């Protein structure tokens, strides 16, 4: 969507949109009263307005995208200044366009023009107040928050370590004291962000109200072709479909952690200690699979080991991901992708390592930015990020405002859908990493590994924006930010911190998407859409086996229909895009249940006699 286009699209295509949505203009302030008293505009004026808006935005976007890329791949005071200046310029324009677009609200228009006007109005992730200086202040705050996170380090065992170092320790260590120290150490980088973040919230709320929204949370919820409150209710409905399975998984994992660490570290009842789950944010639990693996069955292979034994390096990982999409009939990535992407962490300079996919010129200059490691996690991430790139290229022939995902959840789901095939033993055999795929005896280990990442993520995917909705609405004040964060994490995830949190703690700031100002509900939706896509694609491919073993690698019939949906971009409401590929018009988590059904039955048996819930 347009708010993703205002700056380079990132791992979440709106990595920089959080910066892009941070400006206003004195011109807009001056023009607003005049617009209110002007004669009622005509349909012809609306079409002319849209045509000029698209031309102006397209002209400026490449400059802004490249400024954002340089800052992300070479963080200095100067590149932060350049990015903030570029961000201010384009969002100055975007705010003016959003305000002007509202002038046409009462005009009877054709569907295309009306849709473009609506997208323009909600294009800003964090619109600034309509007064001089707001653009520059917000852009500077946003760049500072993002860079504070990306350059964060803390002292551990006599040296300064990065987030990447800390993540490795959390993934591999089984010493609860070490886990606690590293978990708390990373969160020492975020308390200083709280005042900046609170200022950003206040200013963006002021800007959102000026655009006709109750607050910035309502603005974010308006981007799904339905009323903002109806969208919130829709996410509640979807969570209810998933919650029983999550609680079943939580119950099983907690019991295994109790066996490993004992009651003094992880009690057998109640919430789980967050630092024991193998991930800095306890959003995915796959790293603790060795602790929770089925006792009666051992996996027949390790993807980490397969990659190392096959002499994979970072570039070969990405080449393999590209080959999946090409096998479905899509064109290879352009040569510039390989010369301009950041595939490994460069030495001697600060960069944003958070994996992301970029479209710099709205045509063919597509790139990824990763600090790729040769392991199963990044094997999946590569397939995911390239999904953004192939989606970006598919809709490049749409008019500028329609160059985006059907909704932001779609953009995340495209690569996740391909990733479902990429992790199957079927695919690993197809590309020569496995000689033979394991039989049915491997299903429970495989599904448990998948659930530790996919199902464990879903409540986190939901609650990050639930917290921000409460922040934007004023339900949580800055003094309540941290307590409110942990109240939601306990409510939805059933987790707690490893010890009391300091009075000045700002733990939300230790998750990239908060200081980066990237809306997060998209990931929750993507974790549902990807299974709908998988079910539909496997049916189209004529797959007769279990859904979790289906790989669509090499299927050009599925690829053609898949690409046709991607080519639609944001030109149609998302239910129409969903229908074009899956035949369904409603988001439905029943495909998740179908995929994991054998595991859920198994978990229920394992949990017999346990007191589940928290």
Report the Cα–Cα distance between both ends of the chain, in Å, rounded.
Answer: 39
Token pair of 238, please?
């979807």
384 is catalytic: yes
Catalytic residue among 513, 520, 536, 553: 513
Burial class (CB in 10 A: 0-12, 13-18, 19+), 78: exposed
Which listed residue (355, 406, 413, 537) is catalytic?
355
Per-residue pLDDT for 194 more than 70? Answer: yes
Residue 167 has pLDDT above 70, yes or no: yes
3-state class of 284 per DSSP?
A: coil
- Annotation marks residue 246 as catalytic: no
Whether pLDDT at 31 is above 70: no
Kindly state the DSSP code that residue 494 receives in the 8-state scheme: -
- Sign for the CA dihedral angle at 139, 140, 145, 146 comes to positive
- Taking the C-alpha atoms of residue 418 and residue 383, their distance in angstroms, rounded to an integer, is 7
SS3 at position 272: strand
Q: What is the pTM of this model?
A: 0.87
523 catalytic per annotation: yes
Out of 250, 354, 411, 548, pick the active-site residue.
354
Residue 463 has phi, psi (to 5 degrees) of -80, -25
Identify whether 377 is a catalytic site residue: no
What backbone torsions phi and psi does residue 365 show, to the nearest 5 degrees? Answer: -85, 75
Q: Is 355 a catalytic residue?
A: yes
Distance from C-alpha of 382 to C-alpha of 322, rounded to nearest angstrom: 9
Q: How far apart are CA 254 and CA 281, in angstroms?
A: 17
Q: Which of 412, 413, 427, 510 is catalytic?
A: 412
Query: Which pLDDT does position 38 carry in this prediction?
Result: 56
Helix ranges (H only) for 262-354 are: 289-292, 303-309, 314-327, 335-340
* Dihedral (CA of 292, 298, 303, 308) sign: positive
Which residues, in sequence order, are CB contacts of 176 under 8 Å at separation 6+?
A: 261, 265, 273, 275, 276, 498
For the question of residue 354 being annotated catalytic, the response is yes
Q: What pLDDT is recorded for position 286?
A: 93
Is the pLDDT score of 20 beyond 60?
no
Which two tokens mark 113? 């023009």
User: In residues, how long is the chain?
Assistant: 614
Query: Quick one: pLDDT at residue 296?
Result: 77
Alpha carbon distance 415, 195 (integer Å) = 35
- Mark whether 412 is an active-site residue: yes
Q: What is the spatial distance between Cα 260 and Cα 292, in angstroms, rounded to a whole number? A: 9
Number of neighbouring beta carbons within 10 Å of residue 55: 11
**Nearby residues of 188 by Cβ (< 8 Å), 6 or more positions away:** 154
Catalytic residue of the set 385, 437, 505, 512? 385
Q: What is the mean pLDDT of the chain?
A: 91
pLDDT at 108 over 70: yes
CB atoms under 10 Å from CB of 486, counted, come to: 18
CA angle 175, 180, 185 (to 5 degrees): 130
What pLDDT score does 143 carry? Answer: 87
What b/e sequence results for 519-553 when a residue is b if at least 16 CB atoms lie within 10 Å of its CB, and e otherwise? bbbbbbbbbbbbbbbbbbbbebeebeeebbbbbbb
Mean pLDDT of 441-466: 95
The bridge status of strand 272-273 relative to strand 495-496 is: parallel
pLDDT for 458-501, tens place per residue? Answer: 999 999 999 999 999 999 999 999 999 999 999 999 999 999 99
C-alpha distances in angstroms, 596 versus 293, 548, 592, 602? Answer: 16, 8, 6, 10
Contact 451, 593 (CB under 8 A): no
Least confident range from 28-42, 98-112, 121-135, 552-566: namely 28-42
Query: Within 127-175, where are the H helices?
Result: 134-150, 163-172
In contact, 57 and 163? CB cutoff 8 Å:
no
The 10 Å Cβ neighbour count of residue 493 is 25
pLDDT score recorded for residue 164: 87
What band does 23 get if pLDDT is binned at 50, 70 and 90?
very low
Which one of 384, 411, 527, 548 is the catalytic residue? 384
Q: Where are the alpha helices (DSSP H) in 328-473?
A: 335-340, 376-394, 408-422, 425-430, 443-473
In the set 388, 411, 527, 548, the catalytic residue is 388
State whether residue 354 is helix, strand or coil.
Answer: coil
Task: Give CA–CA dist 224/389, Å, rounded.
Answer: 22
* Whole-number Å distance between alpha carbons of 24 and 288: 46
**Other C-beta atoms within 10 Å of 607: how many?**
18
325-340 confidence digits (pLDDT tens): 999 999 999 999 999 9
DSSP letters of 32-74? HHHHHHSPPP-HHHHHHHHHHHHHHHHHHHHHHHHHHHHHHHS
Which positions ≥6 away from 120 have C-beta within 8 Å? 2, 50, 53, 94, 97, 98, 101, 401
How far apart CA 416 and CA 595 sit, in angstroms, is 14
């Amino acid at each position: 969507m347009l708010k993703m286009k205002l700056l380079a699209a990132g791992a979440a295509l709106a990595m920089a949109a959080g910066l892009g949505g941070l400006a206003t203009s004195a011109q807009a302030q001056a023009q607003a009263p005049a617009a209110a008293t002007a004669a009622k505009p005509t349909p012809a004026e609306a079409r002319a307005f849209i045509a000029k808006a698209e031309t102006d935005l397209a002209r400026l976007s490449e400059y802004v995208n490249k400024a954002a890329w340089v800052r992300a791949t070479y963080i200095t005071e100067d590149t932060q200044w350049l990015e903030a200046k570029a961000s201010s310029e384009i969002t100055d324009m975007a705010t003016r366009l959003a305000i002007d677009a509202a002038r046409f609200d009462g005009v009877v228009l054709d569907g295309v023009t009306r849709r473009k006007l609506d997208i323009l109005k909600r294009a800003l992730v964090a619109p600034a107040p309509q007064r001089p200086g707001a653009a520059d202040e917000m852009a500077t705050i946003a760049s500072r928050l993002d860079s504070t996170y990306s350059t964060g380090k803390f002292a551990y065992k006599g040296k300064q370590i990065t987030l990447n170092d800390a993540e490795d320790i959390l993934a591999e260590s089984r010493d609860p004291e070490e886990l606690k120290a590293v978990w708390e150490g990373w969160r020492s980088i975020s308390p200083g962000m709280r005042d900046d973040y609170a200022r950003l919230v206040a200013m963006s709320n002021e800007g959102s109200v000026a655009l006709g929204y109750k607050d910035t949370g309502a603005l974010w919820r308006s981007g799904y072709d339905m009323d903002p409150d109806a969208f919130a209710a829709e996410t509640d409905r979807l969570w209810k479909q998933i919650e029983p399975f999550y609680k079943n998984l939580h119950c099983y994992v907690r019991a295994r952690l109790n066996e490993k660490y004992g009651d003094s570290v992880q009690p057998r009842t109640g919430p789980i200690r967050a630092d024991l789950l193998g991930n800095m944010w306890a959003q995915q639990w796959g790293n603790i699979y060795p602790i929770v693996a089925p006792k009666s069955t051992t996996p027949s292979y390790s993807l980490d080991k397969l990659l190392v034994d096959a002499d994979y390096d970072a570039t070969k990982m990405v080449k393999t991901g590209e080959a999946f999409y090409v096998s479905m009939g899509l064109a290879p990535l352009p040569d510039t992708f390989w010369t301009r992407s950041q595939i490994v962490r460069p030495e001697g300079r600060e960069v944003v390592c958070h994996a992301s996919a970029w479209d710099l010129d709205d045509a063919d200059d597509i790139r990824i930015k990763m600090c790729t490691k040769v392991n199963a996690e990044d094997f999946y991430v590569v397939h995911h990020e390239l999904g953004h790139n192939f989606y970006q290229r598919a809709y490049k022939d749409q008019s500028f405002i329609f160059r985006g995902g059907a909704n932001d959840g779609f953009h995340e789901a495209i690569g996740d859908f391909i990733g479902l095939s990429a992790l199957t033993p079927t695919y690993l055999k197809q590309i020569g990493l496995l000689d033979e795929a394991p039989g049915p005896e491997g299903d429970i280990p495989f599904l448990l590994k998948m659930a530790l990442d996919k199902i464990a993520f879903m409540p986190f995917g939901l609650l990050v924006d639930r917290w921000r909705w409460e922040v934007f609405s004023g339900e949580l004040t800055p003094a309540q930010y941290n307590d409110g964060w942990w109240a939601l994490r306990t409510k939805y995830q059933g987790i707690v911190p490893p010890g009391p949190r300091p009075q000045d703690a700002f733990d939300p700031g230790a998750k990239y998407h908060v200081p980066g100002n990237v809306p997060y509900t998209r990931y929750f939706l993507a974790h549902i859409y990807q299974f709908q896509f998988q079910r539909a694609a496997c049916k189209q491919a004529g797959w007769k086996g279990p859904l979790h073993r289906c790989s669509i690698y090499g299927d050009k019939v599925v690829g053609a229909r898949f690409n046709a949906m991607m080519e639609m971009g944001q030109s149609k409401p998302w239910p129409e895009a969903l229908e074009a590929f899956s035949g369904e018009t409603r988001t439905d988590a029943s495909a998740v249940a179908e995929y994991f059904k054998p595991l859920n039955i198994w978990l229920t048996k394992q949990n017999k006699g346990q007191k589940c819930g928290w």
